Structure 1
Amino acid sequence: MSASTLSRHIKQIEEELGQILFIRDNRSVALTQDGLKFQRYARETLAGWDVFKQSLGSSAEQLKGELSLYCSVTASYSFLYSILSKFRGRYPQIEIKIHTGDPVPAIARVQNKHEDISIAARPNSIPSVMEFKRIAISPLVFIAPNDDAVLHKLGMNQLDMIDWQTVPMIVSEEGIGRTRIDQWFRHKGIKPSIYAQVSGNEAIVSMVSLGFGVGVVPQLVLDNSPLADSVKVIDVHPELEPFDVGLFTLKKSLSNPIVKAFWDQVSV
């Protein structure tokens, strides 16, 4: 619809509710707190409408509608092809929307109803409203440049005798991986030398391959990286706790036949 028509509809809704839903100026438009409440209500209402429509169908094979997924680029390489090939073959009339990005907000995006399902590593605890289904276990590994001259410059001539207080570390800004790295160093009583904090595991592999330092990434990321031959895995003790990778959705979303169909066809 046109911008003027949209503005008219918004104004009518605001008048009926007696509340301002949007803050407007010449450059931007943002939701007010009441607008955010209305957004949540609208999403829940539309989701309920989809569930009701699907309940009228006589066969699961007739499922129609939309399913939104969120995952990292690596997860899309690793899992989505096999999962979606099977799902699309069985439910060709379901439109699938895929959004990729940093894995850190994956669970929150589902909890905030921006997505139906996300693929991410399972934290030590998850919100009680969430459901999780494992699809893979991935070790969390230390990686160094695969170049002896570069290792020498980094002071890593002997990989079994590394001074972790002086080695430049390239780590995630936040997320499960960062939490486990910090715990590993605390356990050893070491204050690491952080060279860079980056967003995205793929960037860590890139920086390590260029010789900037040592990084920590899931093995899954390394297996799918075009730079895998430019780095090497370092054996450390104790090993970091691996990533438990899987699907996340809201428990109540499993009442939606489309979400349930996708969820059920993924093997544990």
Structure 2
Amino acid sequence: MQHKQLHYFLALAETLHFGRASARCYISASTLSRNIKQLEQEVGSELFVRDNRQVQLTSAGMHFIQYAKSTLAHWQQFKTSLSQEQEIAGELSIYCSVSAAYSFLNPLLSALRQRHGKIEMKLHTGDPAQAPERVLDHHEDVAIAARPERLAQQLAFCRLGWSELVFIAPKIPCEVSQQINQGGAIAWEQLPFIIPEQGENRTRLINWWRTRRIQPPIYAQVSGHEALVSMVSLGLGVALIPQVVLENSPFSDKVQVVKVGDAPRPFEIGLVALQRRLSEPVIGACWQLAEQL
């Protein structure tokens, strides 16, 4: 029984989909299927029931999950014990937004470079809403993300800091800024909003609308937070953004913060990784440093 086959089994047990599991393991679906069959032959029992429409764990498969996790955990502990007197080396793939790279990521990378100079870091930036999924799908080792209302059970979260959520509007003379600056109560239900396509920021904003019982017009939906500031600065609408995004935006002087007494609560920003991978030397070293920041 090979360790890679246990990894393949756990990926399929989590996704219950050969296509997604094979992509997560960077192998073909046929290779995954062949390894699962070999594993079942060695175990002496079917671990999955599959047909043309779905994949389900058998009773034996459900019991085998704990064995696979325990075996891989002990293997990682053994490898870690052998390397305790050696300098940790390897690759670490990190995903975050551009704004997070400027703020929360910088202290972590600095500490990693000083403590573990042989770790090669690969940074990918993009929409923060995709961060948890990229870790779950094994595209990245760790990511920086806002803690969602419901954190996936497979994920570990280490808080790095907080970011207030603020409403912004354009400064330039336009219909939107006139409505904001006219004095008196702001008619939010009449203002065009620019909102994220997905993610916790979008969820918090929609909940805020529901609390106020309003349904404002949506001017545009964009990927990521940085583009929100740019579009607001052009006078196209208003937006809800994390304060850290505004602080690092080149358009921060072209927008104004609109004070709202019942603004959505702040984001808890942190590092996310798969729970079962925290025992791996490189990811574990990164995690320990994050806990000390």
- TM-score above 0.5, yes or no: yes
Name the CA shift for 1:81/1:230 in 2 (closer, same or farther; >3 Å): same
1:92 has 2:96 as partner: no
The 4+ residue runs of structure 1 with deviation greater than 6 A are 36-40, 44-51
1:103 has 2:132 as partner: no
Among candidates 188, 193, 197, match of residue 212 of structure 2: 188
- Matched residue of 1:156: which SS? helix
Rounded Cα–Cα distance in structure 1 between residues aligned with 2:77 and 2:92: 12
Report the aligned-residue RMSD. 2.9
Among candidates 161, 174, 192, match of residue 168 of structure 1: 192
Mark the runs of 5 or more structure 1 residues left unpaired by the alignment: 1-20, 23-29
- Matched residue of 1:110: which SS? helix
Identity of aligned residues (%): 46
- Matched residue of 1:123: which SS? coil
Among candidates 51, 59, 62, match of residue 85 of structure 2: 59
Among candidates 126, 151, 166, match of residue 126 of structure 1: 151
Of 46-55 and 163-172, the range deviating more from structure 2: 46-55
Rounded Cα–Cα distance in structure 2 between residues aligned with 1:249 and 1:37: 27
Q: Counterpart of 2:60?
A: none
Q: Match for 2:97: what amino acid? A: S
- 1:190-209 CA-to-partner distances (Å, cap 9, x unmatched) read 01111111111111100000
Mark the runs of 5 or more structure 2 residues left unpaired by the alignment: 1-17, 20-25, 37-68
Q: Counterpart of 2:47?
A: none
- 1:231-246 equivalence runs, <5 A: 231-246=255-270
**TM-score, normalisation: structure 2:** 0.72
Q: Counterpart of 1:17?
A: none
Rounded Cα–Cα distance in structure 2 between residues aligned with 1:206 and 1:116: 30
Q: Counterpart of 1:206?
A: 230
Q: Counterpart of 2:240?
A: 216
Rounded Cα–Cα distance in structure 2 between residues aligned with 1:72 and 1:242: 17
Of 258-267 and 217-226, the range deviating more from structure 2: 258-267
Partners of 1:145 and 1:151 within 8 A in 2: no
Q: Counterpart of 1:136?
A: 161
- 1:42-88 CA-to-partner distances (Å, cap 9, x unmatched) read xx99999887654422425x111111111111111112222111211
